[in-house]
Structure 1
Amino acid sequence: MMDVQKKMTVDMLHGSMAGPMVIFALPLALTGVLQQLFNTADTLVLGQFVGTDALAAVGNNAPIISLLVNLFIGISLGANVVIARFIGAHDLKETIRAVHTSFLLALLLGIFVAVLGELIARPMLELLAVPDSVMPAAELYLRIYFLGMPAIGLYNFESAIYRSRGNTWTSLKALAAASGLNIVLNLVTVLVFDWGVGGVAAATALSNYLSAWMLYHALCHEHGIIRLEPGAIRMEKSYAKEILRIGLPAGIQGMVFALSNLVIQAAINSLGTVVMAASTAAFTIEINIYVLLIAFGQAVTTFVSQNYGAGNLARCRKATKTGFSVTMLVTVVLSALACLFANELLALFNDNPAVIEIGRIRIFYIIGFYFLCVFIEILSGALRGYGYSLPPALLMLVTICGVRIAWIYTAFAAKPTFTNIMISYPLSWVITAVLLIGIYAFYRKHIKPLALRL
């Protein structure tokens, strides 16, 4: 057992950097792909076996779901940073305390978001100007999905605990099992029981609980410093505060993207059901590529965190440079392939020629400019690793959310076309990347040795 765990754990403090970072990031990227597969499986099954209206209903929920899931992912990064620092400093006692605090914090946040989600489900959909024809299905899917929020919160925090130790494989295995269950249940609920959107949403919620339970079971049977003892679970206020100090801005940063997408989704909805379906299909493709950028950004965060805890600032800087180079290479290759095979990829979701043609526009304007996001993910990831999570979050509130919303209410209002909506994405990325480079350079000059006592 110990040998297996050792093989799954990446040494971030010694030796070469590129190889271990890729080994760390690839399972993390696959985990992100599988997380997106939950929604992808829903859209595929509904689009192929139920119809365009069902596909559009789920697509309208994507920005809302992203808003809350990004919050969980961001806050869990706070747990990742705090635990990784103590591991890098070889402080075993404090590592154990931080692990148990993280678990309880995840559970409480998950319950809170589930309750809040049920209260705001209908108002959020009305804010998106969801058409009456798809409103009942969209609301049903969203309310059932919210019931799985405690599981989503636990899974992301449990994954962060493993990630801080250098293990990204265990989380991948748990999610792979849950994804398989989700696909099977989707097909059964639609083809056998004809439950439509409600059945698909229930299948997704149940699958989320499976992934959370599998990681909980694994943590309880760990033999190392991240072992979870149910009787020792309690809230250490100082660690919870530090997790939120680092994680909440990171969650806000992720939510900023989703917030701007809410406004954009409303603009897309105004252009009709066909455009809504095309945008949903293209979004599913693009998000499955973007998870690779997120994975390398989180890899940089963890590598920087451990080495910062160990007092090795030179290796922290090396982690950032290595992460940037590898991520840029992967992003350029995948973006080129997606643009080249755009028609074939879109046809997997819907073979309507109009849907494919409109979907191509989104792929070219978004995936074609993903190289700009490498600057954003890697530099903000490095800043989080040092503990500077707020500056990039505030920046993106203005440059991502602000620019896109301003564009929708000015340029799109003057010329309401789908292409005009898509232009807001690369425009906001250019502004953000340029300013973030300056912020990173400023903070790197002022980084001081870390004092671990919280």
Structure 2
Amino acid sequence: MELDMTKGSPLKLIGKFIIPVILGNIFQQLYNMADTIIVGRFLGVKALAAVGATGTIMFLILGFMMGITTGFTVLTAQRFGAGDIEGVKKSVGNGAMLAIVITAILTVVSVWGMDMILSIMNTPDDIFVMSKQYIVIICLGMPCTIFYNLLASYLRAVGNSKSPLYFLIIAAVLNIVLDLFLILVIPMGVAGAAAATVISQGVAGVCCLIYIIKKVPLLCIRKEHWKLDYHCCMNQLSIGIPMAFQFSITAVGTMLIQAALNMFGSTVVAAYTAAGKVEQIVTQPLAAMGITMATYCAQNRGVNDIGRIRKGVRIANVMNAIYSVAVFAIVINILPHAIRLFVSGDITQVLEYAETYIKICGIFFTPLGMIFIFRNVLQGCGFSFMPMMGGVVELACRVVAAFIAVHYYSYVGVCLGNASAWLITGTFLGVAYLFVMRKLTRRLGEEETAAA
């Protein structure tokens, strides 16, 4: 069911849209979390470290594709907000064609260069083979992942955030079942966990496609829409490529942090991995707020209602601050129990390193939420340069932190890499938002004056 976010109470619309997105994001995280829990408990700490050591590579590769496909759907949301139905269909077909081409290229390149990437990241010798097995299968399954994410993004662009949730629930349950089957019944090791993730994403994508064909005629395209249109390409690439590079730049920074972390051995990598999974789960509402604001602002940008955009952003930031403070207090108390999900036996050493990470990074959940909000607001309004520069700022912070951590052999320095990046980048994007909104308001005023 479509949701027009250009009319009605912004608070109610944001609340209605965000709840399914939060749940959907959590179930999305359950893919990797189920892998790490089952791998850690049944295959051991080294296998857990092997999966964890590939996390930043997955973020680099899949983040690039998710960034570019999300950028493609901004145009869809803007045209939906403006009531341009034919424009919606044209943007869907054009975006699908671009996604097919880029996915094919990136799949080949990522598989071909994986040995070099793992070596550059100082992946420990005792987990190198397992890490490669896991990440190569994930890369080969990239078409399945992009298939689901592109279709889910199109549904969200027209205000439908519930249907992608339902399909993710199905896929998350399937993923857990397949994890157990491919690891315990058919002893495929970490390769089984990767295969389970890919198959589950593919099923979610098929469910999305069937739903769109049967229930969302707005997104159903005809033969004439399956072609590349120059103006659509320029619009979608001008937003999608900077969004993809923003993800990639951020991922390079996290890879540097991971490379520094790998010096401390597989036990520390496992602890960092487990703590990172907990952090990712509890911060999903912040990521969901970003997705919500991208759709909200893109639709309202379609009708040039800047005042309504500003009001929505204020509401989002208040919600972010309240949630960030509350969840930090909660996660500190539940962490010992959460770590036991990942590691069996004596967890004393693993817990010590995991608590250090959460205590340092949890204080900065609010600026992390600001990154999600302001980045997506700017992208939803069609401004992609500043969010990309925000990625550059994140990269710079993590480069500095990685060098300090290596120089002083400091695990605390590794943890400060994320915290410092969130604080400085959140501030940068907040200032960028104020600048862009003033510029946009002035431009629209000049256009109205010229039209009069």
TM norm structure 1: 0.93
> Are 2:138 and 1:145 equivalent residues in the alignment?
yes
For the 8 Å contact 1:158–1:215, the answer to whether it is kept is: yes
Distance in 2, Cα, partners of 1:108 & 1:343: 45
For the 8 Å contact 2:294–2:379, the answer to whether it is kept is: yes
Alpha carbons of structure 1 residues 160 and 312: separation in structure 2 relative to 1, 3 Å: same
The partner residue of 2:77 within 84, 98, 105 is: 84
Query: Which residue in 2 is equivalent to 1:401?
Result: 395
Pick which of 88-97 and 325-334 moved more. Answer: 325-334
Shift of residue 120 of structure 1?
1.4
Distance in 2, Cα, partners of 1:441 & 1:298: 20
> Are 2:91 and 1:98 equivalent residues in the alignment?
yes
> Are 2:392 and 1:383 equivalent residues in the alignment?
no
| Alignment map for 1:32-181 (pairs within 5 Å) | 32-181=25-174
Deviation per CA, 1:229-274, whole angstroms, max 9, x where unpaired? Answer: 4674222232122112112212222222221111111111101111
Query: Which residue in 1 is equivalent to 2:369?
Result: 374
Three-state SS of the structure 1 residue aligned to 2:274 is: helix
Alpha carbons of structure 1 residues 430 and 445: separation in structure 2 relative to 1, 3 Å: same
| Alignment map for 1:229-308 (pairs within 5 Å) | 229=222, 232-308=225-301
Distance in 2, Cα, partners of 1:30 & 1:295: 9
| Alignment map for 1:181-200 (pairs within 5 Å) | 181-200=174-193
Amino acid at match of 2:381: Y
Distance in 2, Cα, partners of 1:337 & 1:223: 40
Shift of residue 80 of structure 1?
2.5
The partner residue of 1:322 within 301, 306, 315 is: 315
Shift of residue 75 of structure 1?
1.5
Shift of residue 154 of structure 1?
1.7
Distance in 2, Cα, partners of 1:236 & 1:299: 28
Query: Which residue in 1 is equivalent to 2:450?
Result: none
For the 8 Å contact 1:336–1:368, the answer to whether it is kept is: no
For the 8 Å contact 1:100–1:232, the answer to whether it is kept is: yes
Amino acid at match of 2:127: V
Three-state SS of the structure 1 residue aligned to 2:217 is: coil
Distance in 2, Cα, partners of 1:321 & 1:239: 32
Amino acid at match of 2:107: A
Amino acid at match of 1:353: T
Shift of residue 291 of structure 1?
2.5
For the 8 Å contact 1:72–1:156, the answer to whether it is kept is: no
For the 8 Å contact 2:110–2:139, the answer to whether it is kept is: yes
Distance in 2, Cα, partners of 1:209 & 1:223: 20
Three-state SS of the structure 1 residue aligned to 2:94 is: helix
For the 8 Å contact 1:78–1:242, the answer to whether it is kept is: no
Alpha carbons of structure 1 residues 291 and 229: separation in structure 2 relative to 1, 3 Å: farther
For the 8 Å contact 2:260–2:406, the answer to whether it is kept is: no
Distance in 2, Cα, partners of 1:221 & 1:105: 24
Shift of residue 405 of structure 1?
0.9
Pick which of 164-173 and 289-298 moved more. Answer: 289-298
Shift of residue 164 of structure 1?
0.9
Query: Which residue in 1 is equivalent to 2:421?
Result: 428
For the 8 Å contact 2:274–2:339, the answer to whether it is kept is: yes
Distance in 2, Cα, partners of 1:228 & 1:30: 29
Identity of aligned residues (%): 27
Distance in 2, Cα, partners of 1:289 & 1:255: 23
For the 8 Å contact 2:367–2:427, the answer to whether it is kept is: no
Shift of residue 223 of structure 1?
4.1
Three-state SS of the structure 2 residue aligned to 1:241 is: helix
Distance in 2, Cα, partners of 1:210 & 1:367: 34
Amino acid at match of 1:385: G
Query: Which residue in 2 is equivalent to 1:349?
Result: 342
Distance in 2, Cα, partners of 1:270 & 1:93: 54
Three-state SS of the structure 2 residue aligned to 1:446 is: helix
For the 8 Å contact 2:67–2:243, the answer to whether it is kept is: yes
Amino acid at match of 1:372: P
Shift of residue 70 of structure 1?
1.5
Alpha carbons of structure 1 residues 188 and 284: separation in structure 2 relative to 1, 3 Å: same
Deviation per CA, 1:192-231, whole angstroms, max 9, x where unpaired? Answer: 1211111111111111211111112222223432224467
Distance in 2, Cα, partners of 1:361 & 1:262: 20
Three-state SS of the structure 1 residue aligned to 2:215 is: coil
For the 8 Å contact 2:364–2:423, the answer to whether it is kept is: no
TM norm structure 2: 0.94
For the 8 Å contact 1:109–1:150, the answer to whether it is kept is: no
For the 8 Å contact 1:222–1:228, the answer to whether it is kept is: no
Distance in 2, Cα, partners of 1:68 & 1:332: 32
Distance in 2, Cα, partners of 1:413 & 1:149: 33
Distance in 1, Cα, partners of 2:319 & 2:21: 15
